[in-house]
Structure 1
Amino acid sequence: MPLPPSSAKPTLAAIARGTGVSTATVSKVVNGRADVADETRAKVLAALEEAGYRSPSQRRTPTGPDVVEVAFDAIDSAYPSALLNGILDHAATTGVEVVVSTTGRQRTTELGLGRKAQRIINEGRAGVIVVTSAYGESGLAAFLRRHIPVVVIDSYNPPPADVVSVGAANWAGGKAATEHLLDLGHRRIAYLGGPESIECNQARLHGHLSALTSRGIEADPGLVRHGRFRAEYGIEGLTALLSRPHPPTAIFAGNDAIAVGVLREARRRGIRVPEDLSLVGFDGTALASDSVPALTSVAQPLQEMGRAALRAVLRQARGEQPDTHRVELATRLVVRESTAVLG
């Protein structure tokens, strides 16, 4: 039997008839009960999403404050902490409550995404801010099919066109970092970035390459390396670069954590920064200002990005159409002690 059209107001009974299960089983799925077979649950969740079902708890007007969920991979570095501070700062001025969840960087299954979306509905969340690699395009689609307001911050991959995203000018930041090193006389400039497929990493790399091209410098593919946005990769990356016949005189790191790893390995090897090696990071977190030497870094307006994301999700929750589906905030280069004129 066909499912009800999306324009209708589907009931649990209609979903049950269309999937060949009992209304009680559909109700268990809606309420997140565990006593349903995975295959049956997946079938019912797919039908609920196709029909655009919204539970009574989502349809009724909430009497308490708006609650927004923020999903992170983990809050284990300065980057997510700064974003969260911005979200909480704006929440405090608007009377909104914030609930934080973490995914542990594990890719969420289709079934898990359906459960997550239905739980958000049942708990009456006003919307979701996504700062995680665990929800791909299918995960965001699960939210959209259920009419859950969602905003993505600095997404790992381009989100669907109808999802609002907030980020920084990564390309311009990458270009500014490399232009700074070029102005200091460096020509052999390496790029140590995060995962190659991630959109923000690609934009920073392309900005770096554009700066080289504009000065008539041919990029050396051997000076471009990709890994993870973690300090350990800065250690690994510097080790690999130093093994080359002509090591770089400067490094543009894809984030501050990678740059800190470079600093650690350089110190261990007796390489002086910036006398022997100039170094630029990206993010402008406390890692940059607290490092020794203090790190030159492209600063993202992380707290403002958090505030902008919360404003955007609350506008959707009020039924307002976004002015734009992409909010991109300017970066700025903060010059400190880790870069110097090439000797």
Structure 2
Amino acid sequence: MPRLSGRTTLATVAASAGVSVATVSKVLNGRSDVSESTRARVQEVLREHEYVGRRPEPVERPSVELFYQGFLNSYSVEVIQGVVDAGQAAEVDVVVTSRPKHSQSRSSGRAQPWVRELAATGRRAAIGITSELTAADLAALSRARLPLVVVDPLNIAQPDVTSVGSTNFAGGMAATQHLLSLGHRRIAYLGGPPTSGCNQARMNGFRGAMEAAGAPVPKEYVWLREFLYEDGLAGGAALLDLPEPPTAIFAGSDEVALGALEAARARGLRVPEQLSVVGFDDTQVARLASPQLTTIRQPLREMGAVALRTALQLAAGEKVDSHHVELATQLIVRSSAAEPALEPAVS
């Protein structure tokens, strides 16, 4: 059968097959009121002329907004991967954006433009990672009827804000008890922002373990800044330059721990022979460190997945079992902590 030139239409297919346009349409739509011989003839013509019908309208997939503040680090990348993977499984688009920590709109307390943008683009929900949100942010999200789930919130104390985290207090205790079991008593805590809920829980776990062991915690043994490598470097230097430095450091994140390792290296201290370091998170950098980092594992990807599933539940108007979900932490022993070195004999 000669192929027709130009764009193939229903009319040209019908003329070639010797049937009506309506019959061709019935064949394309799978209607049953067409004889088998006619159907076969029309389908043959469609194949011969490589007929491409009108493309169906694209089905709009639901989407959620995943935002973070500051710079991406090993912790946030793991959480984002968990959200994205869960979104793919649920056939939901995840749009990742960065929001500045401070802006004129945030300080003014007015309705937040970013929330209006989310509502205008049809987002079903918003997920924040270690984000600092104001009362104006929360009010704007509520007015827009956009459910919010926060992973490790920095400053949210409201009981009605849904959040996902880990057993930070238990993790802080486990890290400190491990160092105590090795024989350390001069243990310092090198942590994150004082207002951060997860930092407070880790530090309280540290203090609880130290108090239970009867080990004092001098004021200068607690150093708080951010969960960043640079802060670990500065804090580690401050701790190690004390007249009586600690023999072990419990760091509130793996990146902070890496900064402490570098501070020790710069002072000629060997880890773990002369200084033990324990981190928190168990991100990839813990395994890439030298020595490999003993740390507290947070199920970061699962935390992201739980945040995504919870956000979708709220968007669907479903009730959630708890406004705050904590996933279990686990001590991972590697090679950055050991028994403390013997004090040199006093002559």
User: Where on the TM-score scale, by shorter chain, does this alignment land: which range?
Assistant: 0.7 to 0.9
| Aligned ranges 1:36-55 → 2 under 5 Å | none
Q: Is the 8 A contact 1:103 1:134 kept in 2?
A: no
1:92 maps onto 2:114 in alignment: no
Distance 2:212 2:205 in 1: 11
Q: In the alignment, what sits opposite 2:206?
A: 208
1:138 maps onto 2:136 in alignment: yes
Shift of 1:242: 2.2
CA separation of 1:213 and 1:172: change in aligned 2, threshold 3 A:
same
Shift of 1:75: 5.1
Distance 1:132 1:177 in 2: 22
Q: In the alignment, what sits opposite 1:184?
A: 182
Note the alpha carbon deviations across 1:271-316, whole angstroms, 9 max, x for none: 0000000000111101111100000111111000000000000001
Number of residue equivalences? 282
Q: Is the 8 A contact 2:74 2:284 kept in 1?
A: yes
Which 5+ residue runs of structure 1 have no aligned equivalent?
A: 1-61
- Among candidates 62, 68, 76, match of residue 66 of structure 1: 62
CA separation of 1:254 and 1:165: change in aligned 2, threshold 3 A:
same
Q: In the alignment, what sits opposite 1:147?
A: 145
- Among candidates 241, 246, 249, match of residue 247 of structure 2: 249
* 3-state SS of 1:328 partner: strand
| Stretch deviating more after TM superposition (100-109 or 305-314) | 100-109
Q: Is the 8 A contact 2:149 2:311 kept in 1?
A: yes
TM-score, scaled relative to structure 2: 0.78
Letter in 1 for 2:146: I
Q: Is the 8 A contact 1:131 1:153 kept in 2?
A: yes
| Stretch deviating more after TM superposition (132-141 or 220-229) | 132-141
Shift of 1:145: 2.5
* 3-state SS of 2:112 partner: helix
Distance 1:327 1:134 in 2: 19
Shift of 1:82: 0.2
Distance 1:197 1:132 in 2: 12
Shift of 1:224: 0.7
| Stretch deviating more after TM superposition (153-162 or 106-115) | 106-115
Identity of aligned residues (%): 44
TM-score, scaled relative to structure 1: 0.79
Q: Is the 8 A contact 2:257 2:277 kept in 1?
A: yes
Distance 2:312 2:275 in 1: 46
Q: CA RMSD in A?
A: 1.7
Distance 2:277 2:82 in 1: 28
Q: Is the 8 A contact 2:126 2:149 kept in 1?
A: yes
Note the alpha carbon deviations across 1:5-31, whole angstroms, 9 max, x for none: xxxxxxxxxxxxxxxxxxxxxxxxxxx
Note the alpha carbon deviations across 1:10-67, whole angstroms, 9 max, x for none: xxxxxxxxxxxxxxxxxxxxxxxxxxxxxxxxxxxxxxxxxxxxxxxxxxxx962110
* 3-state SS of 1:339 partner: coil
Distance 2:163 2:144 in 1: 18
Q: Is the 8 A contact 1:72 1:130 kept in 2?
A: yes
| Structure with larger Rg | 2
* 3-state SS of 2:179 partner: helix
Note the alpha carbon deviations across 1:314-342, whole angstroms, 9 max, x for none: 00111101111011111111111100112
| Aligned ranges 1:1-343 → 2 under 5 Å | 64-74=60-70, 76-107=72-103, 108-110=106-108, 113-343=111-341
Distance 2:133 2:329 in 1: 26
Distance 1:339 1:84 in 2: 30
Q: In the alignment, what sits opposite 2:22?
A: none
Letter in 2 for 1:313: A
